[in-house]
A and B are shown apart, each in its own frame.
Chain A
Amino acid sequence: MSNYSVTSNGYYGEFGGAFVPEILHKCIEDLKNRYLSELTKPDFQEEFHQLLRDYVGRPTPLYFAKRLSEKYGCKIYLKREDLNHTGAHKINNTLGQILLAKRMGKKRIIAETGAGQHGVATATVCALMGLECIVYMGKTDIERQLINVQKMRMLGATVVAATSGNMTLKDATNEAIRDWCCHPEDTYYIIGSVVGPHPYPDMVAKLQSVISEEIKKQLLKQEGRENPDYLIACIGGGSNAAGTIYHYLDNEDVQILLAEAAGKGIDSGESAATIHLGTIGVLHGSKTLVMQDENGQVTEPYSISAGLDYPGIGPLYAYLAYTKRAKTLAITDEQALKAAFELTRTEGIIPALESSHALAVLSQQAFKKEDVVVLTVSGRGDKDMETYIMALSQFDHANTDSL
C-alpha cells in the first residue's frame, strides 16, 4: 500500500472527501463503486491504450534537451505532453472518462474549462464517441481564449458562459456542478483535473499516470535508470503533475518540484499560489487548501495563465505539501514568460503558459552536473500566442542576451 494513495473514503491524510449536495450522492457513489473495477478491466485497458496510441499519439517523447541542459548544468529531459492530439495532457483523462461514461450508460457529457484545453479535449472525445457535450466556461475566459471556444463549437459542443463571480474557472466549475445537480441521471461530468469530490482526484490521477509509466520506460532506455533525481511539473488543479509523479510517489529518492502560479507575486494580492497562500477549506466537493478570506469566502485568483487560475488545488497536493514530499515554488507571470522565451529559443519549442511555470523552476533550483531532471511540458503554446506576442518586444529588447 502506497503512503500517498487515496483511502477508500477518498482521503489523502485529512484532505479529500466528497462534500456534495445530497442530489449528487448517488452519482458519486455509483462512480466510486465502478471506476476501479472498470479501469482495470482488460477490455477497458485495451481500448484505452489503443486510442492513446493511435488517436492521441502516445507514447509522447521523452526528449533530452541538450542546449537547455548545458545552460543549467544538469541533464534535462522534457516529457512532451504538448505533442498529444489537442495539444496537451488533458486528453489522456477525457479519453479514459468518456470510455467509463459509455460503460455507465450516460448519454450527456458536461465539463468545465478554464483555458479551454480541457473543454477542447472533452469536445474531441465526445465527437469521437458521438455523445452530446456541454462545456461551461467563464465569460472572461471565453473572451480571452476565443480560438478554443471556436474549436469546441466546431467539434459540436455547446459552450455555455458562466457569468457569476470573476467568470473564470471556479465559476465554470460551479455551473457544471449545478448542471449535474439538475441532470443526475443521464449526465456524466468529466472533471478536468485532480480536484472535485472523491473519486475524481484519484481517477484522474490514475488516467494521467500513463505519463510516469512512460517516463520510467523511456528513462531506463535513455539513461539506464528508471528514476530521475528530480521531477518538475506545474500545478493548477494538478493533473499533469499527478500523472508525472504517480509512479514515483513512494520513491523518496526522486525529488518532486512543483510550480504554482504566483501571478504578480505572492504578496501582491493577485496570485493563484494556493499552496503558499491557501488555508484548509472545502471547495468543489473536496477538503483541500483553498484561497479564501477570514470568513471562508473563496477569493478570486489571478494568473497570466488561464489554466492555473484556480483558488483550490487537488487534495493530493495539500497532502504532499503537508508531508513535505513535494516542494512547491511560486512562479510569477514574469518568470514564466521568461522561461517560455528561453525554451523557445534554446530548443525551438513554444510551451503553454502553464508549462512555462514548470520551466521557470529550472532557474530557481541548484542542480548538480550528474542530476537527471524530468520536466513535463504539459501543453503547447498556440493558445497563448496573443500573450506571447505582447511580451515579445520586451524580451527582444531586454532579455535576449541573457537567454
Chain B
Amino acid sequence: MHMNRIKMLFEHKTKNILSVYLTAGYPDIESTVEVIERLAENGVDMIEIGIPYSDPLADGPVIQRTSQQALENGMTISVLFEQLRVIRQRVSVPLVIMSYFNPILIYGFKRFCSKCKEIGIDGLIIPDLPFDEYLTNYKDIIKGENLEFISLITPQTSEDRIRKIDTETDAFIYMVSSASTTGNRDSFTSENEEYFKRIKELKLNNPCLIGFGVSNKVTYDQASHYSNGVIVGSRFMDSLKKGMDIDQAIKNLLSVLRG
C-alpha cells in the first residue's frame, strides 16, 4: 500500500520541519494552487490548506480576515476540490486540509474524505471536532480513506489525554503553543517553554509540530528547539496581498523565520 506522505516526511526528517498554512482562495480565488506550488518550490516541508469558514472560533484577526475575504472571493469546498484536482501532478509534499467541522458536515463527511483521498490529501485537521467525537463517529470513515487525523494538544490537555491521543495518532501531533487563538506574537514566555519541555519529556511516539504564534525568528527557534518543527499561518497570510509576487512573499517569510 502507498505510504502516507506525512509519515514519509517524518521518516527522513525529524528536526526543523516547516509546515505552512494558507487560506484557500486568498488573496484571490485563483491563488490557491499557485501559493501551494510556490511553497513547495521553496522547500516548505508540508502544506496546510485552510478551508475558509464564516465563524472560525480558534482563529485570531488575521485568519478571520483572510477567511472572510476568501469567502467573498467565492471559495467553497467544491471550488477547492476542483482547483486541487491535478495538484498531485504538481507537488509531492504532504498536503493537509484544515477545516472547521460544519462545512465538512454539510458537504457530507464521507464524501469529503473520499474526495480528499482521490485528490491526494494526506491528513485532516478539524479544530472543533473533539478527539472523543472523532474516535466514536469519524475515525473509521477517515481511516477508511487512508487519511490521517491530526489531533491538537494544548497546555490544558492532561497527560492521560495526550497519551491517548498519541496512541490514536499515526502522523504527527499538532501542539498548540499556548492558550490563544492563531496569530502573531513576538516571543513565547518561559511558561510556554516549560510546557514545550514537558511535552518533549513525554517522549511521545508521534512527532510534534508547534503552531499558533510562530511568527519570527525568536518564536521559530524557541518552538523548533523543543519539537520536530513548526506550523506557520498568520504571519504568512498577513504578508500576502492582492497582486503581489507570491514567490517573494514566501522567500521573505523564510528569511523572517530562519534569519
Contact = CB atoms under 8 A, between A and B. Distances in A.
B244 interface: no
Contacts of B76: 295
Interface stretch (B87-95, B150-158, B216-224): B150-158
A164 B54 CA distance: 10
B129 A19 contact: yes
A26 B179 CA distance: 12
Contacts of B58: 21, 23, 178, 181
A22 B152 contact: yes
Interface in B78-93: 78
B204 to A, nearest CB: 15
B180 A296 contact: no
A290 B102 contact: yes
B141 interface: no
Interface in A168-182: 170, 174, 177-178, 181-182
Residue among A22, A177, A183, A284 with most chain B CB within 10 A: A22
Contacts of B33: none
Contacts of A182: 179-181
B119 interface: no
A366 B154 CA distance: 56
B55 interface: yes
Contacts of A376: none
Interface string B100-121: 0111111100000000000000
Given A19-B133, A178-B181, A296 B156 contact: no
A196 B133 CA distance: 16
B128 to A, nearest CB: 5
A26 B127 CA distance: 15
Contacts of B71: 297
A297 B103 contact: yes
B78 to A, nearest CB: 8
Interface string A19-56: 11111111100000000000000000000000000000
A298 B57 contact: no
A257 B103 CA distance: 32
Given A19-B130, A279-B106, A292-B106, A174 B181 contact: no
B68 interface: yes
A22 B131 contact: yes
Interface in A260-301: 279-285, 290, 292, 294-298
A386 interface: no
A295 B154 contact: no
B124 to A, nearest CB: 15
A138 interface: no
Nearest to B106: A296
B184 interface: no
Contacts of B53: 296-297
Give the one of B53, B102, B154 with max A CB within 10 A.
B102
A283 B102 contact: yes
A281 B54 contact: no
Interface residues of A, number: 36
Contacts of A181: 57-58, 179-181
A163 to B, nearest CB: 9
Given A19-B129, A21-B128, A178-B57, A185 B179 contact: yes
A281 B130 contact: no
A298 B154 CA distance: 27
Contacts of B77: 295-296
B95 to A, nearest CB: 21
A282 B101 contact: yes
Contact of B54 (A19, A165, A183): A165
B156 A184 contact: yes
A292 B102 contact: yes
Contact of A26 (B105, B106, B158, B176): B158
Given A170-B55, A281-B106, A298-B54, A19 B101 contact: yes
Interface in B31-60: 53-55, 57-58, 60
B157 A22 contact: yes
B227 interface: no
Contacts of A184: 156, 179
Nearest to A183: B179
Contacts of A165: 54-55
Nearest to B53: A297
A182 B212 CA distance: 12
B130 A18 contact: yes
Interface in B152-200: 152-158, 161, 176, 179-181
Q: Which of A20, A26, A182, A282 has the most CB of B within 10 A?
A: A282
B57 A174 contact: yes
A27 B156 contact: yes
B64 interface: yes
Contacts of A174: 55, 57
23 contacts: A17-B133, A18-B130, A19-B128, A19-B129, A21-B57, A21-B152, A22-B152, A23-B179, A25-B131, A25-B156, A26-B158, A164-B64, A174-B55, A181-B180, A182-B179, A184-B156, A185-B156, A185-B179, A282-B102, A290-B102, A292-B102, A294-B106, A295-B107
Given A25-B131, A183-B179, A281-B106, 9 more contacts: A22-B153, A22-B176, A23-B176, A181-B58, A281-B102, A281-B105, A282-B105, A295-B107, A298-B102
